[in-house]
Amino acid sequence: MPFVGEKRRMLDNGTKAISYGLSQAGYDLRLSEEEFLIVDKTSKNGRAKVELDPKNFDGTTPYQAALNRKDGSSFFRLPPFSYGLGRSLELISMPSNVIGLCDGKSTYARCGIIINVTPIEPGWAGRLTISISNPTPFPALIYANEGIVQVMLHSIEEVGQAYTGSYQNSATISLPAVG
């Protein structure tokens, strides 16, 4: 939810979009405009030094990016040599006999942008947290409400126990949690 049952290349307002929706091999998720957190060298109250520890992540390190609008599109500006955390617009509820393998859209890859999303485990539900890295020396525009990640769906034997990890039923961006 909100499910799009066909591949779309235009937003509802008629603006050209990075494709999203149901495809031949899976589903292309969109990036929500609700929240987008950035981690860069200026994070942590302007201090230049930030240490990222996945076992003890400082939740004050990322900062909320401003949503920009231009020519009918909404986007976040990702600084050079930084990464952002966004979330899927779609709410996902994975069946217990399906796993979703995720990869970034080729449009972003061709700009040097790296998108990292872990597999969607059988039985997992929530909004997917998406990591978007900008290893280039240029600011990058990351578009909301448009395709960001392709999920390739694979049927598997039904699992006996559904996913019960820390990120189950997430509605917002999930920062690292160990346990």
| Domains of the chain, each with CATH number or no CATH | 8-155 (2.70.40.10)
Q: What integer is the mean pLDDT of 97-118?
A: 95
Give me the pLDDT at residue 47, please. 52
Could you tell me the pTM of the whole model?
A: 0.88
* Residue 179 pLDDT exceeds 60: no
Spatial CB neighbours of 115, under 8 Å, sequence gap ≥ 6: 103, 104, 105, 108, 109, 130, 131, 132, 133, 148, 149
- DSSP E strand boundaries for the chain: 8-10, 16-22, 26-30, 37-39, 63-64, 67-70, 73-78, 82-87, 92-93, 98-104, 114-116, 125-126, 129-134, 140-144, 147-155
Spatial CB neighbours of 106, under 8 Å, sequence gap ≥ 6: none
* Residue 92 pLDDT exceeds 80: yes
The strand order across the sheet containing 73-78 reads: 67-70, 73-78, 140-144
Which pLDDT tens digit goes with each residue over 33-58?
Answer: 999 999 987 665 555 556 788 888 88
Rounded distance, CA 62 to CA 35, Å? 11
Give me the pLDDT at residue 173, please. 86
Is it true that the peptide bond before 2 is cis, omega within 30 degrees of 0? yes
Give me the pLDDT at residue 160, please. 73
Which pLDDT tens digit goes with each residue over 108-156?
Answer: 999 999 999 989 999 999 999 999 999 999 999 999 999 999 999 999 9
Give me the pLDDT at residue 33, please. 96
Rounded distance, CA 125 to CA 113, Å? 27
Radius of gyration over alpha carbons of the chain, in Å? Answer: 16
Rounded distance, CA 45 to CA 118, Å? 29
Rounded distance, CA 49 to CA 52, Å? 10
Q: What integer is the mean pLDDT of 67-72?
A: 96
- Provide the mean pLDDT of the chain: 89
